[in-house]
């Protein structure tokens, strides 16, 4: 197994190094071209890429078997991220038995733990993100921290709140949005703020309200799960790198419902963030991150009622809604050609939709397959999702064209539900369970 995998990764590393050298010395390069740091093999972002599509360009395997499983020693609430060299990273809740571990990293070949670092306990609320050289970026209570591939701290920058999983800007900086709605643009090399802080929800001002204190960094995090108003920005933003526009869900103070908000990012020597538009009030609280279509023209959300809704990116107007029949949670997965596979939860079954502009079309439906997590889709018309019952979980491989089951692999001892499926650079499938175990199939 090692013999045929190592050369491809070595060539990938050499290619990435060459790209980096060209970028640093590229006097003749196109400085306006987007730099998608997440456009690497694997699953380096919370939802795979800047569009939050839960889609991998890696050709998916249709013949999986269980390679290994490992206990995490604590509960987890987010997906695993998988760096370009296959480094698997999860954030977990610290406790006495795991020595305060929050950021856990594993080798994909063997499942051997690389490191397990302690950070603020709220780091469990968002995924760590990897760049092209396997540096990690993870938010916790009042800060954004970068670690190298060995777990050594590169830098730490204070912020107001707890960052949602970050994104990278078109010019290679780090975009950090906290649950309080504070937006920061940081250098990936030093963590230094390179743009003025932009507050979607103005924090208390000492001069105007001298008796008002800043909220504790973790305030409202519990409400993020159901997208409630105590968590102004409950999920990770989506970033259209070509248009340099950020999309997120926001509860404004005193509002009766959240809104979609679009932010423009201006890069260059004096980067800045500004609000472009805010949508009409949404029909219900959002329980997913915004997901962008490949052409950047539509945004998809799942709400607390279990309805998948489509919005345009011009002003955030609703295009259509589809009730899944259950209170599905998690972000839908979207392919480049527009197939939408909603997440599972609360008995939601497997189905696929297509955006027909003013309405959704059901492409196929599998009422006999109950999802227990959020799916991941891969090139080659292949998808993966956790199925079964809360007492017996399996990974089901399916054909995205017609929904046909291609294979099912039991996860021994796995119970509860999965926090979401991820796909590694060589097609390996990574599945954590909320109760604290991670499985790798290849």
Task: Look at the chain and count its residues.
Answer: 442
pLDDT tens sequence across 157-198: 999 999 999 999 999 999 999 999 999 999 999 999 999 999
Q: Are 265 and 276 in contact (CB under 8 A)?
A: no
pTM exceeds 0.95 for this model: no
Task: Yes or no: say if 407 and 396 are a contact pair by the CB < 8 Å rule.
Answer: yes
10 Å Cβ neighbour count for 365? 14
Report the side by side order of strands in the sheet with 272-278.
238-240, 245-250, 259-266, 272-278
CA-wise closest residue to 301 among 312, 286, 322, 313: 286
pLDDT at res. 41 = 76
pLDDT digits (tens, 9 = 90+) for 310-366: 999 999 999 999 999 888 778 999 999 999 999 998 889 999 999 999 999 999 999
C-alpha distances in Å from residue 303, one per residue of 18, 321, 332, 375: 43, 10, 11, 17
Q: Kindly report, residue by residue over 122-138, the tens digit of the pLDDT.
A: 999 999 999 998 999 99
Domains and CATH numbers, the chain: 41-201+220-441 (2.130.10.10)
pLDDT band at 19 (very low <50, low <70, confident <90, very high): very low
Q: What is the Cα–Cα distance from 146 to 139, expressed in whole angstroms?
A: 9
Span 288-300, average pLDDT: 97
Cross-strand partners of 270: none
Distance CA(272)–CA(279), nearest Å, equals 22
Over residues 70-95, mean pLDDT = 94
Partners of residue 323 on adjacent β-strands: 307
Q: Which two tokens stand for residue 363?
A: 């492409």
């Amino acid at each position: 197994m090692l013999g045929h995998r190592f050369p491809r990764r070595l060539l990938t590393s050499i290619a990435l190094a060459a790209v980096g050298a060209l970028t640093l010395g590229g006097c003749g390069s196109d400085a306006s071209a987007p730099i998608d740091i997440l456009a690497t093999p694997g699953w380096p972002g919370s939802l795979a890429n800047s569009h939050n599509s839960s889609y991998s360009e890696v050709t998916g395997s249709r013949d999986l078997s269980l390679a290994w499983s490992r206990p995490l020693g604590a509960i987890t609430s987010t997906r695993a991220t998988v760096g370009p060299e296959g480094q698997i990273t999860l954030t977990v809740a610290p406790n006495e038995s795991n020595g305060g571990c929050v950021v856990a990293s594993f080798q994909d070949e063997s499942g051997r733990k690389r490191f397990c670092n302690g950070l603020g306990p709220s780091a469990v609320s968002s995924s760590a993100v990897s760049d092209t050289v396997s540096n990690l970026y993870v938010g916790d209570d009042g800060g954004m921290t970068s670690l190298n591939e060995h777990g050594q701290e590169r830098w730490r920058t204070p912020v107001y709140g707890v960052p949602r999983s970050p994104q990278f800007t078109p010019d290679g900086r780090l975009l950090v949005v906290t649950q309080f709605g504070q937006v920061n643009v940081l250098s990936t090399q030093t963590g230094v703020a390179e743009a003025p802080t932009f507050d979607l929800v103005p924090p208390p001002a000492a001069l105007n309200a001298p008796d008002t204190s800043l909220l504790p960094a973790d305030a409202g995090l519990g409400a993020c799960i159901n997208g409630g108003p105590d968590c102004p920005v409950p999920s990770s933003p989506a970033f259209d790198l070509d248009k340099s526009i950020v999309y997120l869900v926001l509860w404004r103070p005193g509002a009766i419902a959240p809104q979609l908000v679009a932010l423009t990012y201006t890069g260059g020597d004096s980067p800045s963030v500004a609000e472009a538009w805010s949508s009409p009030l949404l029909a219900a609280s959002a329980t997913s991150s915004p997901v962008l279509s490949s052409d950047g023209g539509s945004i998809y959300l799942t709400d607390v009622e279990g309805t998948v809704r489509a919005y345009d990116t011009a002003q955030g107007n609703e295009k259509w809604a589809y009730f899944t029949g259950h209170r599905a949670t998690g972000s839908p997965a979207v392919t480049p050609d527009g197939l939408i596979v909603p997440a599972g939860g609360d008995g939601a079954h497997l189905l696929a939709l297509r955006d027909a502009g003013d309405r959704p079309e059901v492409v196929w439906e599998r009422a006999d397959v109950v999802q227990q997590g959020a799916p991941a889709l891969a090139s080659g018309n292949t998808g993966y999702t956790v199925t079964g019952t809360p007492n017996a979980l399996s990974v089901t491989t399916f054909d995205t064209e017609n929904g046909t089951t291609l294979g099912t692999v039991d996860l021994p001892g796995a119970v509860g539900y999965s926090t979401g499926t991820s796909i590694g650079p060589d097609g390996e499938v990574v599945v954590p369970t909320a109760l604290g175990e991670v499985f790798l199939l290849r």
